Amino acid sequence: MSVAITRRNLLRAKINPKQALLPPWAMTEQADGFFSRCTRCSECIQSCPESILEKGDGGFPRVNFRLGECTFCGLCEAQCPSGALDRRQGSEPGTQCQPWDYVAEIQSQCLNLQGVVCQRCADPCESRAIHFTPRIGGPALPGIEPDLCTGCGACVSSCPVDAIEIKADQYSQ
């Protein structure tokens, strides 16, 4: 998915802006996808029980995992009047597609990588995608199993140093 440089980002010298995380079931695969269908009505933002959806650039909804995690309840998709969020997109009749292709990624500022013992990110991870490999003479090394990670973001808000980012899964594209 390519990102168009907006005038705002150009004037702020953000030539390669960080890709906004779209709500679950955002129609990104079709030519008439999310950005052409979304009316920016904020119905999805108002219906999110976890309050993790907010207005982003251009008024489009985006996910902010620093506010909490996505429980994949589907209320945002159910309230979307334009069809920009659709859990049936590209799937066989009677089936549902995955909410998104996001996975967690541990950054270099992780406390364990800096020699400080911390495992706060693993506690809220229901899918147990975060694991720690013991090592002699230091804290265990963190790792993420991409096949288990749902991209729910539960680990992001629990990290005391913001060392976890949710990104598009490079292996699923």
Asked if residue 61 is part of any domain, the answer here is yes
Domain range spanning residue 95? 17-99
Residue 7 within a domain: no
**Beta strands per DSSP E along 29-137:** 53-55, 61-63, 102-106, 130-135
Please indicate, yes or no, whether residues 105 and 34 belong to a single structural domain of this protein: no
> Do 79 and 140 lie in a common domain?
no
Are residue 93 and residue 119 in the same domain, yes or no?
Answer: no
- Tens of pLDDT, residue by residue over 106-131, are 999 999 999 999 999 999 999 999 99
73 is in an annotated binding site: yes
CATH number of the domain to which 90 belongs: 3.30.70.20
One domain, residues 95 and 105: no
Q: Cα(166)–Cα(106) distance, rounded to whole angstroms?
A: 9
- Do both 95 and 132 map to the same domain? no
Q: What would the pLDDT profile of 41-77 be if each residue is shown by its tens digit?
A: 999 999 999 999 999 988 999 999 999 999 999 999 9
80 is in an annotated binding site: yes
Q: How far apart are CA 173 and CA 155, in angstroms?
A: 23
Number of domains in the chain: 2
| 47-to-44, 74, 77, 86, 125 alpha-carbon distances in Å | 5, 10, 9, 15, 24
* 41 annotated to bind ligand: yes
Q: pTM of the predicted model, to two decimals? A: 0.80
**Lowest model confidence (mean pLDDT) among 11-15, 132-136, 145-149:** 11-15
97 is in an annotated binding site: no
118 is in an annotated binding site: no
